[in-house]
């Protein structure tokens, strides 16, 4: 089976996304790319996450055409394709419907830098992409434009997209984005909007996260 290991990993992270409450029902989708071939392993359209097997993960190319698989790929495949086409630093994409971040997307409200974690992962506010119909190339185009070089964007009236160097990083970005959205909305509900982080502190935290967080190789 083509890309068997990558398809297995995509399946596992899709199930992890669902179990973490970052999506509901059969919404959302996950993918990862093998850069050497340009082949993308992506979750199928409309299947229960609990029932997925590696064979259900479809392989498509960078034009969105099916290379191998018995299932129809996600209807939002072009969202993933557009990101991979424009962002050579990205090797995994999560499209979630997490509750709090999606609420902000419905409001057209970006996530401000109220937490050190937002500064660390995003290097600035998490923006909102303007509305575009899901499943279209325009949907991918507005997401890519909104993300810029960042790791995430809210999709107006729809959900969230997060990208990373691998599946683990992209998943953590999706989880942190939801947690940040939750805290921001709770602060608004309490009637006292959260304090924004000092702008001078943001690039420092972002650099620390990029170079010194986790188990990156130690630098001399």
Residue 129: the pLDDT is: 98
Q: Which helix (H) or strand (E) holds 163?
A: strand 159-164
Residue 11: the pLDDT is: 98
Residue 121: the pLDDT is: 81
DSSP category for residue 45? T
Q: Which helix (H) or strand (E) holds 149?
A: none
- pLDDT tens for the chain, 220 residues: list them: 999 999 999 999 999 999 999 999 999 999 999 999 999 999 999 999 999 999 999 999 999 999 999 999 999 999 999 999 999 999 999 999 999 999 999 999 999 988 888 888 888 899 999 999 999 999 999 999 999 999 999 999 999 999 999 999 999 999 999 999 999 999 999 987 788 888 888 888 888 887 877 655 544 3
Q: Which CATH architecture has domain 4-212?
A: 3-Layer(aba) Sandwich (3.40)
DSSP category for residue 21? T
Q: Point out which residues pair with 5 in neighbouring strands.
A: none
Among 142, 157, 167, CA closest to 14? 167
**Active-site annotation holds for 179:** no
99-118 pLDDT per residue, tens:
999 999 999 999 998 888 88
Residue 76: the pLDDT is: 97
Residue 216: the pLDDT is: 54
Name the 3-class secondary structure at 154: strand
Q: How many C-beta atoms surround the C-beta of residue 142 within 10 A?
A: 21
Residue 100: the pLDDT is: 97
d(CA 88, CA 144): 12
Q: How many C-beta atoms surround the C-beta of residue 4 within 10 A?
A: 12
Residue 218: the pLDDT is: 44
Catalytic entry in 19, 34, 68, 76: 76
Contacting residues for 13 by C-beta, under 8 A, at least 6 apart: 30, 92, 94, 167, 168, 171
Q: Which helix (H) or strand (E) holds 84?
A: helix 77-86
């Amino acid at each position: 089976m083509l890309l068997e290991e990558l398809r297995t990993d995509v399946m596992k992270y899709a199930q992890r996304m669902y179990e973490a409450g970052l999506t509901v029902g059969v919404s959302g989708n996950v993918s990862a790319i093998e850069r050497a071939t340009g082949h993308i392993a992506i979750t199928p359209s409309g299947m229960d996450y609990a029932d997925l097997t590696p064979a259900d993960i479809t392989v498509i190319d960078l034009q969105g055409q099916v290379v191998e698989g018995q299932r129809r790929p996600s209807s939002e495949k072009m969202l993933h394709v557009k990101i991979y086409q424009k962002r050579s630093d990205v090797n995994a994409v999560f499209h979630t419907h997490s509750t709090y971040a999606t609420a902000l997307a419905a409001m057209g409200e970006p996530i401000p830098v109220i937490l050190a974690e937002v500064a660390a992962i995003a290097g600035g506010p998490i923006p909102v992409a303007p509305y575009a119909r899901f499943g279209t190339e325009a949907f991918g185009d507005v997401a890519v434009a909104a993300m810029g070089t960042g790791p995430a964007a809210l999709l107006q009236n729809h959900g969230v997209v997060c990208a990373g160097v691998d599946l683990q990083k992209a998943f953590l970005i999706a989880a942190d984005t939801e947690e940040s959205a939750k805290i921001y909305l709770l602060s608004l509900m309490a009637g006292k909007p959260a304090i924004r982080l000092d702008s001078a502190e943001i690039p420092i935290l972002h650099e620390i996260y990029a170079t010194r967080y986790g188990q990156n190789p130690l630098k001399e």
